[in-house]
C-alpha cells in the first residue's frame, strides 16, 4: 500500500511540476508593445555572460593607469572599439574630444607611487597604491616624510581643531578629505591627510572610497590618503587611548598631457538613417577612478545591445528604419563635448537612453532597477515606451502563486533574482542631463540600479555584478531600440494608448498630491494651499497633453493619427476639469470646517509683476548649460540677490524658452517639486541675467 501511495504521489508531483500551469502556453504570457516571437528572438540572442566577460576584462581589478595611455589612447576605449568591430559593426571610431567645455587644463593628474607606513609604536605598512589604487586621492602632490598623527573628527569645522596642535602633523579625518584640507592644511598648517569615507561602511567596513582634493595654485601643496573605515577607526581608537602614532607618507605624482576621447558606433537605419536613437554610458569618471558597476556595466550592456541588434539585422530577423548610435564617454563632459563637436549629429538625435550602473546583482546590493523619467520641462512618449517594457520584464519574471515565472529571463551563470524595479520621476547625476537640458531639449531617460553598496569604492568589482541582470537590461535595451527605430502609424497608436492610460494614473497621483496639500495646510494657509493644489492639477494636464503630442514625431501630420490624438487630448482636458471640481469641493468643505469663506485664487502683486517678465536665452546659454562657468562667476560675486531653489534650479533653467513668464516657470516647477516662492525664481533669473546667460524682457 505504501508503495502504491508513493508512486501516486510521485506521479501527481511530476504532473503538477510539468503541467501547463507551470509552463504556460504563449497565450498566457503577458503581452507588451512588441510581439512575443520577436521578444523571444531578442531574449535568445542576448547574452549576459558575454557582457559580464567584457566587464571582467575592463575592470577585473583596479589598476593604476600607465602614463603612456594619456598620450597614446586608453585601454578602455581601444578595447570597446575592438569588440564592436568584432561584432560586425562597421561604423565605429575613437573620437578625440575638445577639453575646453568645463575649462579643463591641458594636463591631468597621475599617480606614480604611494605608500603609507606606521613607524611608531611599531612598523606596519598601512596601504600601498600598487595594492589599492583608490588609496591616493586625486590632486595629491608628491611628498616624502614622517609626522605624528592627530585625530580631528570630520575636520570640516574649526571646532574640531580646538585645543589640538596639527601644525606640521598628519590629520586623521573621519570624512571627506577636501573640506578638512581647506581648514586643517590651509588654516592650521597640517602636512597631509589620512581620511576614511566610503559609501556604505556599515555594509562593508573594508571598502576604500575613491576621493580627491582640489588644491589651487595659490594654496599649500599637500596629499591625502584614503583608508578603510575599519583601519580608520582602529587608528582613531588608539589615538583616543593616548597612544602616540607616527606615520611615514611617501607619494610621487605628476601632471601629464592627456587626451579626452570617446567611442562612437552607429548601426545605420535603412529608411530614415538621419534620425538617431542614441544610447550613452560613461567609460570614464575621471581617469583614476574605476568601477565595474559604475559604469563598466553600462558600457558592456551597450556593447551587447549593439551586438544583438547587428546580429538580428544581419540575419534578417529585424529591420531598422532609423539609426541607432552608441556613445561611450567621459561622464557628462564627454557627452556635452561630443554634441558640441558634432552639431550635425546632434540635430539627428530624437531620443537618448542613458545606462549608468545597470548590471549589479539586485539582492546582493539591496538594490532596485530604476528608470529616471524625463523632467516636466520635456514630457515624452519615451518614458512610457521604456517603462512598459520594464514592467513586462518584471511581470514575466515574477514568482507568482503558480510558483514559477511565466517567461524567466536568466543567464546560465547568473542569479535567479526577481526583477525588482521602480518607475521614477526625473533625477540627474549622469549623461542624460546633457540631453534634457533646456538648451538641448532631446528626450532622455536614465536606467540605473540603486543603491549600490560599493558605490565609488575600490570594491566596485565584477563579483558584485550579475549576468542575469545584464541580460535583462540588454533585452530591455534591444526591445526599446527596435520599437522606436521602426515606429510608424501602428507604433504611434500604441504609444498614444500607453501614454494616455499611464497619464490617467499620473493625474490620479497629482490629485492625491493636491488633496494632501489642502488637507495638511491648516486654517491659516488654506487659501494659499488651494491655489497650489489647483496648480498641481493644471500643470499635470499640461504635462500629459504634451506627452501625447510628443509621439507625433514619428508620423508627422498624419490626419488619421491626429484624430486619435485629438480625442485623447479632449479626454485629458475633461479629466483635468473634473479633478479641479473635486479639489474645489474639498476646499469648500475645509473652509466650512474652519468657518472661513472660500476665495477665488488671485495673483499677488509680486506674481502680477512676474507674469510680465519673460526670460530669454542669450547666445551664452545656447546648448548645454556651462555650470562650471556659472559657479566661477558666483565665486567672485558677493552682492547677488539670494535664492533657494535646491534641486528645482535645473528645471527653472530648463523652462526658460523665451515664451514663458517668470510666473509660469514658477508654477511649472512648483507642481513638479514643491511650492517655490516667486522671489526665489526672480532672484535666480536676475543672477543669470547678471552673468549674461539670459535677458529679462517685459511683456508688451
Quote the CA–CA distance of 496 and 494 in Å, as a whole number. Answer: 5
Please give the share of the chain, as a percent, with pLDDT higher than 90. 89
Rounded to an integer, the average pLDDT of 543-550 is: 98
Quote the CA–CA distance of 279 and 431 in Å, as a whole number. Answer: 10
pLDDT score for 105: 78
Task: State whether 473 and 329 are in the same domain.
Answer: yes
End-to-end CA separation in angstroms for the chain? 97
pLDDT score for 16: 41
pLDDT score for 51: 98
Backbone region of residue 545 per phi and psi (left: phi > 0; alpha: psi in -120 to 50; beta: other values): alpha
Task: State whether 174 and 274 are in the same domain.
Answer: no
Task: Characterize the bridge pairing of strands 444-450 and 246-257.
Answer: unpaired
Confidence of residue 60 (pLDDT cuts 50, 70, 90): very high
Starting at the earlier edge strand, list the strands of the sheet with 261-267: 91-96, 261-267, 322-330, 272-284, 349-355, 444-450, 368-372, 421-424
Residue 284 phi, psi (nearest 5)? -130, 145
* Grid cell for residue 537: 492639477
Point out the domain boundary residue: 566, 593, 620. Answer: 593
pLDDT surpassing 60 at residue 275: yes
Q: Are 630 and 691 in contact (CB under 8 A)?
A: yes
120-121-122 Cα angle (round to 5) = 85
Point out the domain boundary residue: 216, 232, 257. Answer: 257
Task: State whether 453 and 317 are in the same domain.
Answer: yes
**Position 11 in a domain:** no
pLDDT score for 100: 65
Task: State whether 160 and 235 are in the same domain.
Answer: yes
pLDDT score for 13: 44
**Position 344 in a domain:** yes
Q: Which long-range contacts (CB under 8 A, 24 or more apart) does 642-649 make?
A: 642/683, 643/679, 643/680, 643/681, 643/683, 643/684, 643/687, 644/680, 645/669, 645/676, 645/680, 645/681, 645/684, 646/673, 647/428, 647/673, 648/672, 648/673, 648/674, 648/676, 649/684
- Higher pLDDT: 7 or 35? It is 35
**Position 398 in a domain:** yes
pLDDT score for 607: 96
Residues with Cβ within 8 Å of 33's Cβ and at least 6 positions away in sequence, in order, are: 385, 388, 389, 483, 491, 494, 498
Average pLDDT of the chain, as a whole number: 94
Task: State whether 51 and 194 are in the same domain.
Answer: no
pLDDT surpassing 90 at residue 582: yes
H or E element in which residue 244 lies: none
pLDDT surpassing 70 at residue 6: no
Q: List C-alpha distances in Å: 470 to 18, 33, 332.
A: 29, 21, 23
pLDDT score for 1: 53
Of how many residues is the chain composed? 700
Quote the CA–CA distance of 454 and 463 in Å, as a whole number. Answer: 11
Task: State whether 239 and 113 are in the same domain.
Answer: yes
Task: State whether 222 and 116 are in the same domain.
Answer: yes
pLDDT, one tens digit per residue, over 295-312 is 999 999 999 999 999 999
pLDDT, one tens digit per residue, over 596-609 is 999 999 999 999 99
pLDDT score for 11: 45
* Grid cell for residue 357: 550602473
**Position 543 in a domain:** yes
Confidence of residue 322 (pLDDT cuts 50, 70, 90): very high
Range of the domain at 532: 499-593
Confidence of residue 276 (pLDDT cuts 50, 70, 90): very high
**Position 5 in a domain:** no
Quote the CA–CA distance of 276 and 280 in Å, as a whole number. Answer: 13
Task: State whether 575 and 670 are in the same domain.
Answer: no
pLDDT score for 635: 84
Task: State whether 309 and 163 are in the same domain.
Answer: no
pLDDT surpassing 60 at residue 249: yes
Confidence of residue 27 (pLDDT cuts 50, 70, 90): low
Task: State whether 173 and 253 are in the same domain.
Answer: yes
Task: State whether 142 and 213 are in the same domain.
Answer: yes
Quote the CA–CA distance of 635 and 628 in Å, as a whole number. Answer: 11
pLDDT score for 17: 42
pTM (2 d.p.): 0.94
pLDDT score for 402: 67
pLDDT, one tens digit per residue, over 72-112 is 999 999 999 999 999 999 999 999 998 766 656 789 999 99
pLDDT, one tens digit per residue, over 156-189 is 999 999 999 999 999 999 999 999 999 999 999 9
Rounded to an integer, the average pLDDT of 522-526 is: 95
Tell me which residue of 572, 561, 426 sits closest to 507, measured CA to CA. Answer: 572
Check the CA dihedral 431-436-440-441 and report its sign: positive
Q: How many CB atoms lie within 10 A of CB 598?
A: 14
Using the CB atoms, write b or e for 285-310: b if 16+ within 10 Å.
bebbbbbbbbbbbbbbbbbbbbbbbb
Quote the CA–CA distance of 116 and 458 in Å, as a whole number. Answer: 17
* Grid cell for residue 394: 518584471
Residue 153 burial (10 A CB sphere; 0-12, 13-18, 19+): middle
**Position 19 in a domain:** no
* Grid cell for residue 58: 575592463
* Grid cell for residue 614: 519673460
Point out the domain boundary residue: 257, 280, 310. Answer: 257
pLDDT score for 14: 41
Task: State whether 81 and 165 are in the same domain.
Answer: no
pLDDT surpassing 70 at residue 438: yes
Confidence of residue 28 (pLDDT cuts 50, 70, 90): confident
pLDDT surpassing 60 at residue 381: yes
Task: Quote the strand ranges of 517-570, DSSP E.
Answer: none
User: Residue 435 belongs to a domain with what CATH number?
Assistant: 3.40.630.10
Give the count of alpha carbons within 13 A of 144, CB side only: 3
Confidence of residue 583 (pLDDT cuts 50, 70, 90): very high
**Position 10 in a domain:** no
**Position 12 in a domain:** no
Counts for the chain of helices (H) and strands (E), in that order? 21, 17
pLDDT score for 12: 43
Number of domains the chain contains: 4
Amino acid at each position: 500500500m505504501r508503495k502504491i501511495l508513493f508512486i501516486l504521489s510521485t506521479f501527481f508531483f511530476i504532473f503538477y511540476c510539468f503541467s501547463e500551469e507551470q509552463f504556460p502556453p504563449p497565450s498566457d504570457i503577458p503581452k507588451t508593445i512588441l510581439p512575443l516571437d520577436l521578444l523571444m528572438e531578442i531574449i535568445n540572442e542576448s547574452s549576459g555572460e558575454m557582457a559580464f566577460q567584457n566587464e571582467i576584462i575592463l575592470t577585473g581589478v583596479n589598476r593604476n593607469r600607465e602614463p603612456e595611455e594619456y598620450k597614446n589612447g586608453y585601454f578602455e576605449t581601444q578595447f570597446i572599439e575592438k569588440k564592436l568591430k568584432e561584432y560586425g559593426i562597421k561604423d565605429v571610431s575613437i573620437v578625440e574630444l575638445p577639453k575646453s567645455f568645463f575649462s579643463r587644463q591641458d594636463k591631468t593628474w597621475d599617480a606614480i607611487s604611494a605608500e603609507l607606513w606606521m613607524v611608531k609604536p611599531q612598523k606596519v605598512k598601512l596601504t600601498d597604491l600598487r595594492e589599492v589604487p583608490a588609496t591616493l586621492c586625486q590632486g595629491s602632490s608628491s611628498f616624502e616624510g614622517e609626522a605624528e598623527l592627530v585625530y580631528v573628527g570630520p575636520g570640516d569645522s574649526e571646532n574640531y581643531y580646538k585645543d589640538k596642535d596639527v601644525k606640521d602633523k598628519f590629520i586623521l579625518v573621519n570624512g571627506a578629505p577636501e573640506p578638512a584640507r581647506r581648514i586643517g592644511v590651509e588654516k592650521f598648517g597640517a602636512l597631509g591627510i589620512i581620511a576614511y569615507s566610503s559609501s556604505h561602511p556599515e555594509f562593508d567596513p573594508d571598502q576604500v572610497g575613491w576621493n580627491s582634493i582640489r588644491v589651487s595654485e595659490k594654496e599649500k601643496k599637500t596629499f591625502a590618503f584614503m583608508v578603510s573605515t575599519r583601519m580608520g577607526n582602529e587608528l582613531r581608537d588608539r589615538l583616543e587611548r593616548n597612544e602616540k602614532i607616527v606615520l611615514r607618507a611617501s607619494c610621487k605624482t605628476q601632471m601629464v598631457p592627456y587626451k579626452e576621447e570617446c567611442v562612437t558606433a552607429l548601426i545605420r537605419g535603412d529608411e530614415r538613417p538621419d534620425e538617431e536613437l542614441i544610447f550613452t554610458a560613461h567609460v570614464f569618471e575621471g581617469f583614476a577612478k574605476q568601477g565595474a558597476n559604475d559604469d563598466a556595466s553600462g558600457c558592456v550592456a551597450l556593447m551587447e545591445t549593439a551586438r544583438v541588434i547587428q546580429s538580428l539585422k544581419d540575419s534578417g530577423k529585424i529591420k531598422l528604419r532609423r539609426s541607432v548610435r552608441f556613445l561611450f564617454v567621459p561622464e557628462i563632459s564627454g557627452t556635452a563635448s561630443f554634441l558640441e563637436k558634432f552639431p550635425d549629429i546632434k540635430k539627428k538625435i530624437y531620443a537618448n537612453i542613458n545606462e549608468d550602473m545597470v548590471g549589479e546583482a539586485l539582492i546582493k546590493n539591496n538594490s532596485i532597477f530604476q528608470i529616471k523619467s524625463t523632467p516636466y520641462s520635456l514630457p515624452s512618449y519615451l518614458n512610457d515606451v521604456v517603462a512598459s517594457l520594464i514592467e513586462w520584464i518584471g511581470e514575466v519574471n515574477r514568482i507568482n502563486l503558480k510558483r514559477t515565472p511565466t517567461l524567466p529571463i536568466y543567464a546560465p551563470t547568473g542569479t535567479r533574482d526577481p526583477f525588482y524595479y521602480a518607475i521614477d520621476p526625473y533625477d540627474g547625476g549622469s549623461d542624460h542631463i546633457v540631453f534634457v537640458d533646456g538648451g538641448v531639449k532631446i528626450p532622455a531617460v536614465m536606467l540605473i540600479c540603486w543603491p549600490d553598496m560599493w558605490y565609488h569604492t575600490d570594491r566596485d568589482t565584477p563579483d558584485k555584478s550579475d549576468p542575469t541582470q545584464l541580460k535583462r537590461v540588454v533585452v530591455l535595451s534591444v526591445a526599446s531600440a527596435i520599437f522606436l527605430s521602426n515606429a510608424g502609424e501602428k507604433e504611434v497608436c500604441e504609444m498614444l494608448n500607453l501614454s494616455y492610460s499611464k497619464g490617467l494614473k499620473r493625474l490620479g497621483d497629482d490629485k492625491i498630491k493636491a488633496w494632501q496639500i489642502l488637507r495638511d495646510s491648516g486654517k491659516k494657509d488654506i487659501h494659499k494651499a488651494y491655489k497650489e493644489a489647483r496648480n498641481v492639477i493644471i500643470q499635470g494636464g499640461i504635462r500629459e497633453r504634451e506627452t501625447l503630442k510628443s509621439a507625433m514625431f514619428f508620423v508627422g501630420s498624419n490626419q488619421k493619427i491626429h484624430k486619435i490624438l485629438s480625442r485623447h487630448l479632449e479626454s485629458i482636458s475633461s479629466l483635468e476639469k473634473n479633478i479641479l471640481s473635486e479639489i474645489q469641493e474639498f476646499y469648500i468643505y475645509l473652509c466650512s470646517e474652519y468657518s472661513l469663506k472660500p476665495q477665488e485664487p488671485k495673483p499677488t502683486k509680486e506674481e502680477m509683476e512676474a507674469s510680465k517678465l519673460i526670460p530669454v536665452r542669450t547666445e551664452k546659454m545656447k546648448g548645454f548649460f556651462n555650470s562650471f562657468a556659472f559657479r566661477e562667476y558666483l565665486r567672485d560675486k558677493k552682492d547677488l540677490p539670494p535664492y533657494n531653489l535646491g534641486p528645482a534650479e535645473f528645471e527653472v533653467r530648463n523652462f526658460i524658452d523665451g515664451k514663458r513668464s517668470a510666473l509660469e516657470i514658477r508654477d511649472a516647477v512648483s507642481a513638479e517639486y514643491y511650492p517655490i516662492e516667486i522671489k526665489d525664481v526672480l532672484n535666480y533669473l536676475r543672477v543669470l541675467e547678471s552673468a549674461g546667460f539670459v535677458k529679462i524682457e517685459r511683456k508688451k
